[in-house]
Each structure stands twice: as structure tokens, then as C-alpha cells.
Amino acid sequence: MNPFKYGKIVSGDYFYNRKDELKRIKATLSGGNNIVLYAPRRYGKSSLVNKALDELQKEGFTTVYLDFMSIYSREVFIKNYSNGIAQKEQHSIEKTIKFISKFIRGIVPSITFNEFGKPEFSFSWIEGYNKDETLEDIINLPEKLADKNKKWIIAFDEFQEITKLNGESFEKILRSIIQHHKNVSYLFFGSRTHLLIDMFSNKNRAFYNSALLMNLKVIDEVDSILYLTQKFSKDSISLSEVVALYLINRVNSIPYYIQFVAAEIWQEVINKKRIINKEHVNMAINNIIELKSDYYWELTSRQTNYRKKVLHALSSSDKGVYSKEITQKFNLGANSTTQKAVASFIEDGIIEQFNNKLEFSDPIFKEFLRKNL
Ligand SMILES: Nc1ncnc2c1ncn2[C@@H]1O[C@H](COP(=O)(O)OP(=O)(O)OP(=O)(O)O)[C@@H](O)[C@H]1O
Ligand SMILES: [Mg+2]
């Protein structure tokens, strides 16, 4: 079995590092405070939160995870959130349904059986009822079910997506209700960093100053080197620290891509001479470019010609795209026009801005562009 895993949430043996972050998140939530965790895509937010919730659950908290990525209406929010809560309630499903009928206006809860014959919570809407009241009740449900000996922790993944539901009004409703919750703590997290930061640190927004802001960074290089060398050595594959560092640097230390490249290398060397060199790293990156090339071409062809030029410049130069030298070299127009293109890349999540430096969110896409534009 390939010891490297990439994609969604990793846990157990596949999860390493993040000890300080885990401690901080758990302490804040169990202390009754709210926290916002933000990081670009693929940094390991969901895995970290999953681990924190797991441990908090073992310590006696009731934890609920809700992903806003799959929520596209108020009704879906009500459905998914009530489902998440019903699953976590300690009582039998029958008792949970009684609770829900008592506390939530506008719906009739019931039990259905899924394909495995397992009872599940579901409900139907009461015709003509005001859904604002149902929404309010569902947001209050965790506080109703919690008490000072049984606190709840709610984690909202990709929370910035809430603004797509109903402008800022959904955000305002949620904030105005949960600020009164005494036995529930909230963890908001997501990958659209600038949107999340704005939600929680702009005075004009509903969630202003309502949670501790925490920026999740990449995993420390030294720990990643150790993890990679040890994992490979378990299968008698030798990886030197120099080559491990080369791998990590090629993908800007982003956890997902470290695992992806390592998995490709493992597959390549497992039945051969088991010493990894830089060429193996390059080959693995080329394989990944190949695997993802349909998607990368699609993403590239969606851009206007000017944006393609800016992407080309961004992928080829480490000196930014606004200097005279780079503007001339890549035949770019006025800086204001380039800025607009860059803003659109940030908006689309193609580019991340760190302390005024522009970086590709996907380092392999950057390599693809260098090769193909
Ligand atoms: N602590 C970790 N240990 C090992 N691998 C990790 C860790 N964190 C993240 N990864 C790698 O990154 C991948 C993505 O992790 P995860 O889905 O948790 O990140 P995310 O930040 O939530 O991503 P997205 O932005 O796509 O939601 C994992 O499948 C794994 O390969
Ligand atoms: Mg995630």
C-alpha cells in the first residue's frame, strides 16, 4: 500500500505535525471562544479540524461539522445542519425527533431508512410557514441541546461561502443569534483567505471581532523531511535529506503536493532500485502535470489573452510582474491593467498573495504554465 495519501482528509498515521496548532484550536474552543482558521487551499485545514473535533469529542464535547461548499440555499442549510445535529445528538433518533419537533417551527421531522436500513433523520416543510423562523430555530438548536456540562462545538468549513447564500443578510442572522450562545463554541474555517479575513476584521461586517483569527502555515520543513525519509525507509527506500528538501521546495511546502509527489515517487521506485534522486522528483512532477493537463488546459483557455500573458509572466519570473524589466520582457501593458488581471486570479483562487508576494496556489499549475505558455 502506498504510504502517502493525497486528496481529502488524512488522519491516523497519515497525519503528522500540527501539534501547536491543534493545542491552540482545542484550548480556544474548549474555553468557550470562537476561532477562525484560514489558509490557502490544500494546506491541511480540514484534516487538522477533523483531528481537533475527534479529540474534543473524546473529551466529552459534542461536535458537529458542516461544509458550506455544498450549501446553495437557506433550505439546504436547514436540511444539512439539522441532519448534522441529529446525527450527533446522543439520544435515540426517536428522542431527537421529539426534540426537533419541540424546538423547530415550520417542519415536520420524521425517520427514513437509508439503503443500508439505517434510520436517518429527515423532514418535510409545513406549507405557508415562514422559513425565517425555521432558520432561526435551527441555528439555536445546538444551544438548546447543550448545557454547561455538555458543551457543543460547531465547525463551519469553507465558511466564506455563506455570503453567496443571501448577500450579507444570512451572515447577519447567524451572527445575531449565535452571539447569545453560552454553551456552544464555533470554529469557522476556509481557503478563501482574503474573504475570511474581511468577514472577521472589517468593522462593517457582522462577524467583526467575534473570533480569534488563526493563520495556518505550511508544515515546518524539518518535520516534513523527517516524515518523508522515515516513511520511505519503512519500505527500504532511501531518501536523503537533500532530495527531500528539493521535493518540498519544488511544491512550496504545500502539504497536499508533498504527499502527491511522494506517492508518485513511491509507485515508481517500489519495484526498482530503491534510492531516490532529484530526477525522481522531476519525473513525479511531470507525471502529475500529465495527469492534470486536461484540467490545466481548460483553466488556461478560460483566460483572456492578456491574462494569459500575465500568467506567463507570473510563472516565469520570481520578481513580480510590475517592474519595467518584466513588463518589457513579457510585453505587458499598464500596471493598472495587470493589477486587474492579478485581482481576478486572486478572486478565482489561482494566485495567493503573501506579504505582497504573489504565489501560485497550485505549484504544479505553475510548472505546467512554464512548460506550455
Ligand atoms: N497534517 C498533515 N499530515 C499529512 N498530510 C497532510 C496534513 N495536512 C494536509 N495533508 C495533505 O494535504 C491533503 C489535503 O488536506 P486537507 O483536505 O485537510 O486540506 P484543506 O486545507 O482542507 O484543503 P482544501 O483547501 O482543498 O479544502 C491531504 O490529503 C494530505 O495529503
Ligand atoms: Mg478543506
CB-ligand 1 contact for 51 (6 Å cutoff) = no
Tell me which residue has its CA closest to atom 31 in ligand 1: 6
Q: Nine-digit cell at 278? A: 532529484
pLDDT of residue 146: 92
The residues, ordered by sequence, that sit 6+ positions from 138 with a Cβ below 8 Å of its Cβ are 77, 78, 81, 82, 85, 104
Return the closest-CA partner of residue 219 out of 9, 18, 49, 360: 18
**Which residue type is seen at 219?**
I
In angstroms, how far is CA 351 from the centroid of its own chain? 16
Q: How far apart, in whole angstroms, are the C-alpha atoms of residue 108 and residue 91? A: 19
Angle between the 131-145 and 93-103 helix axes, to the nearest 10 degrees? 130
pLDDT of residue 135: 94
CB-ligand 1 contact for 82 (6 Å cutoff) = no
The residues, ordered by sequence, that sit 6+ positions from 128 with a Cβ below 8 Å of its Cβ are none
CB-ligand 1 contact for 300 (6 Å cutoff) = no
The residues, ordered by sequence, that sit 6+ positions from 161 with a Cβ below 8 Å of its Cβ are 68, 69, 71, 190
pLDDT of residue 243: 98
> pTM of the prediction?
0.93
Q: Strands, DSSP E only, in 104-240?
A: 107-113, 119-125, 152-157, 184-190, 212-215, 238-239
Q: How far apart, in whole angstroms, are the C-alpha atoms of residue 320 and residue 339? A: 11
In angstroms, how far is CA 63 from the centroid of its own chain? 18
Distance 179 CA to ligand 1 centre (A): 30
Q: Can you list the domains of the chain with their CATH numbers? A: 18-215 (3.40.50.300), 220-301 (1.10.8), 303-373 (1.10.10.10)
User: Taking a C-beta distance cutoff of 8 angstroms, is the pair 363, 251 a contact?
Assistant: yes
Q: Which ligand is nearest to the CA of 216?
A: 1
Angle at 365 between CA 327 and CA 315, to 5 degrees: 15
Residue with cell 488581471: 341
Distances (CA, A) of 232 to 6, 24, 243, 262, 280: 16, 31, 12, 9, 13
Bridge partner list, 121: 111
Specify the pairing of strand 351-354 against strand 357-360: antiparallel
Q: What is the number of helices (H) and of strands (E) in the chain?
A: 16, 11
Q: How far apart, in whole angstroms, are the C-alpha atoms of residue 120 and residue 118? A: 6
- Which helix or strand (DSSP H or E) is residue 340 part of? helix 335-348
pLDDT of residue 90: 64
User: Taking a C-beta distance cutoff of 8 angstroms, is the pair 106, 90 a contact?
Assistant: no
- Which helix or strand (DSSP H or E) is residue 191 part of? none
Tell me which residue has its CA closest to atom 19 in ligand 1: 44
The residues, ordered by sequence, that sit 6+ positions from 323 with a Cβ below 8 Å of its Cβ are none
Q: Strands, DSSP E only, in the chain?
A: 35-38, 62-67, 107-113, 119-125, 152-157, 184-190, 212-215, 238-239, 275-276, 351-354, 357-360
User: Taking a C-beta distance cutoff of 8 angstroms, is the pair 66, 122 a contact?
Assistant: no
Q: How far apart, in whole angstroms, are the C-alpha atoms of residue 373 and residue 357? A: 22
Distance 271 CA to ligand 2 centre (A): 33
Q: What is the mean pLDDT of each run of 10 residues along the chain (373 residues)?
A: 94 96 98 96 96 97 95 92 83 78 90 82 88 94 92 96 87 96 97 93 95 96 98 96 98 97 96 92 97 97 97 92 94 96 94 89 96 92
Q: Nine-digit cell at 181? A: 450562545
pLDDT of residue 94: 77
Residue 44 three-state SS: coil
Backbone angles phi, psi at 123, to 5 degrees: -155, 165
Distance 22 CA to ligand 2 centre (A): 16
Atom of ligand 1 nearest to the CA of 41: 25
